[in-house]
Structure 1
Amino acid sequence: MTADGDFLELVAYVKASNHRKNIIEYLNYGLKTPKEIGVALNVRTNHISNLLADLRKHNLVVCSTPNVRKGRLYELTENGINVLEYLE
């Protein structure tokens, strides 16, 4: 796979934080709530929510249930999947 500059910036963005990298890896297993991610990664839910918001801004994850107030489900976007594959 050839990687252009924008893609490599996304890879670098994810690699710069173990939490971001771990979230991307965990979402590879399917739809997850921030609480599920936090419990699995031993990170507070409010921190997970902030990280997910940043990952969403970079088009790496998407909220599949945006109208739900609690228990929102997140999954990887195509970009997120590509970054994960590149990192493996």
Structure 2
Amino acid sequence: MSDEPKNRRFLTIGQAAEELNVSPVQVRALLKTGELRGIQVGGRGQWRIGANDVEDFITEGYRRTAEHIASGEITDDGEEGAEQA
């Protein structure tokens, strides 16, 4: 969301993907599974995602990750930026 104001109420799939640093295909998958809330508008059913819903998704992701860390379920999978032992 480079030159656009960050105070928009709704984001397109592309804008939400940029915010989450994932592909638009991944955002569509999250919408279809209900992990990310969104609405379809217009005759063509274009998706719009509330900016607050993106923030809620991120907050929930942090909560789930903290739970997994606390339970020992998180392992180093060699993800970009992860330190290798």
- Give TM class, smaller chain: 0.3 to 0.5
What TM-score comes out, normalization by structure 1 length? 0.39
Higher RCO (C-alpha 8 Å, min separation 6): 1
Highest CA radius of gyration, 1 or 2? 2
More strand by share: 2
